[in-house]
Structure 1
Amino acid sequence: MTTRQIRERWGDSLLTVLTVLLLVMMFVVAPLQALGLFEFQVFELLLAIFLVGGVFVMSGSALAVVTMLIALAMIVTGAILRLRSPSILDLNLFAGAWLLVGITMAVTVAQATFAPGRVTYHRVIGAVLLYLAVAVIFAALYTFIGTLVPNAFAGMKVEDRPSLASQLIYFSFATLTTTGYGDVAPLHPIARSLCNVEAIFGQLYPATLLARLVTLEIAHRDQD
């Protein structure tokens, strides 16, 4: 079976698989990494490979394949540098890799989710995956801001440590969902601007596109 045949037959189901993998990475791997319960470089790398492989199968785009290979190479290089001596360089490599992964995943998933055809349960899950991918993108952007401007955030120091990924994900979702606990706050103008953009997306996307997809999925199901 060719990649194209796999994509045509299992494309919608892969949206659900990728969503589960990303959820595991953000809400299981990151907290365990923060607690130091396992060697996070190996497990994180394996999950990244699964995510990259899933996007390969779904996309069928040469540009997406090249982008994900570059991201994977950056992750491997960052992991090697981190094992030798943690520094800002490997942190920026990881941030750059996840920025590429997030953008590529968002574009690929959007194309699959909003493609012509019947709106299925898996496509609704794909819309949720797009929402999660946006959180990953902004977490990477916050990392760049934090490394360039050490005091860009109050309550969060961006430095290469096991708990950083969990803290960035927490802050990104607190912003995306406009929860705003207040324990971490943007101080730099660019950081504040990024938070505003993420918060606006986080409010408008579920209320418009995601709600529309759910309505269409229910309507198609009732027609059967």
Structure 2
Amino acid sequence: MNAVGKKIQSLWAQEASLTVLLCILFIHIFIVIPFGQGTTFGRLIFFAFYICLLVTGILIFFENFILKLIVSALVVLIILGAIFRSPSLDVINNLLTVLYCMLLSWVVLLRTFHDGPVTVHRVFGAVVVYLLLSFIFALLYQTIYLIEGGAAFKGLASSDRKEFMYFSLTTLTTAGYGDINPALPFSRSLANMEALIGQLYPAVLIARLVSMEFESSKERKQK
């Protein structure tokens, strides 16, 4: 492995990598998805950040070679699905991305709640998973729309991912403005599940982080 490769591996072996991942995910969700799909240049920027998000996630998996191979294969399939567009391929691409984001969330949670003092990077790691949850549900909502058509949701301005990302974030945070509504039993159940997770995740997260900080403080005092 060359010097550059060692430096990259060293970066992603540290907790600071969670902060880097949060920055990339934040830009992807709040800037690239809402504003990056209207023009050809915008679509190129969207695709560039999409690949950046996926590749950045791969680097998180450095410690497990087999898992890294599986995730790398998923990313290749996702990128191919994004290039060769069709309704059926979009459904498969969304489901593969959901699987990828679930694996990434699992690894980030393992790092976030690993033994040791609670740092700002770990807090950011918890936020990464929260945003990944909104992204996962947005993909699932879009998949339902691709399968069922306009009957799945009421109030959509378009079928772009930004609409589903917006609906997902307002549901996860239980803001619920009411401008977009799920209209099918399955889409309604999915929205209810997301709202429930949006309530429970911060509560469980805060309790766990406080417990970890208390334990690490107690250990430092004993030393």
The TM-score range, normalised by the shorter chain, is: 0.7 to 0.9
In structure 2, what is the equivalent of residue 168 of structure 1?
Answer: 164
Deviation digits for residues 137-161 of structure 1, max 9, x if unmatched? 11111122112211111112774xx
Deviation at 1:3, TM superposition (A): 7.0
Deviation at 1:38, TM superposition (A): 2.6
Mapped partners of 2:143, 2:81: distance in 1? 15
The answer (yes or no) to whether the contact 1:19–1:126 under 8 Å persists in 2 is: yes
Measured on the aligned residues, the alpha-carbon RMSD in Å equals 2.8
The answer (yes or no) to whether the contact 1:15–1:109 under 8 Å persists in 2 is: yes
In structure 1, what is the equivalent of residue 84 of structure 2?
Answer: 81
What is the identity percentage for the equivalent residue pairs of Structure 1 and Structure 2? 34
Moved more, 167-176 or 26-35: 26-35
Mapped partners of 1:23, 1:109: distance in 2? 15
In structure 1, what is the equivalent of residue 3 of structure 2?
Answer: none
Moved more, 210-219 or 72-81: 210-219
Of 178, 193, 198, 1:182 maps to 178
Within-5 A mapping of 1:114-129: 114-129=113-128
Deviation at 1:124, TM superposition (A): 0.5
Moved more, 70-79 or 191-200: 70-79
TM (normalized to structure 1)?
A: 0.82
Match status 1:149 vs 2:148: yes
Deviation at 1:2, TM superposition (A): 7.6
Mapped partners of 1:157, 1:194: distance in 2? 20
In structure 2, what is the equivalent of residue 14 of structure 1?
Answer: 17
The answer (yes or no) to whether the contact 1:142–1:191 under 8 Å persists in 2 is: yes
Mapped partners of 1:2, 1:35: distance in 2? 37
Q: In the superposition, relative to structure 1, how do residues 33 and 208 fare at CA in structure 2: closer, same or farther (>3 Å)?
A: same
Mapped partners of 1:64, 1:51: distance in 2? 17
Deviation digits for residues 35-83 of structure 1, max 9, x if unmatched? 437341x32333233333333332222453234323322332233224x
Deviation at 1:112, TM superposition (A): 0.8
The answer (yes or no) to whether the contact 2:98–2:136 under 8 Å persists in 1 is: yes
Deviation at 1:16, TM superposition (A): 0.6
Match status 1:207 vs 2:203: yes
Moved more, 65-74 or 164-173: 65-74
In structure 1, what is the equivalent of residue 71 of structure 2?
Answer: 68
Deviation digits for residues 6-35 of structure 1, max 9, x if unmatched? 444x2x101011011011001110121244
In structure 2, what is the equivalent of residue 43 of structure 1?
Answer: 45
Mapped partners of 1:15, 1:91: distance in 2? 29
The answer (yes or no) to whether the contact 1:121–1:217 under 8 Å persists in 2 is: no
The answer (yes or no) to whether the contact 2:19–2:125 under 8 Å persists in 1 is: yes
Mapped partners of 2:32, 2:154: distance in 1? 25
AA of the residue aligned to 1:79: A
Deviation at 1:125, TM superposition (A): 0.5
Give ranges in structure 2 of 5+ residues lacking alignment.
1-5
Deviation digits for residues 127-179 of structure 1, max 9, x if unmatched? 010111111111111122112211111112774xxxx1111110001110111
The answer (yes or no) to whether the contact 2:19–2:121 under 8 Å persists in 1 is: yes
Mapped partners of 1:3, 1:108: distance in 2? 18
In structure 1, what is the equivalent of residue 138 of structure 2?
Answer: 139
AA of the residue aligned to 2:130: Y
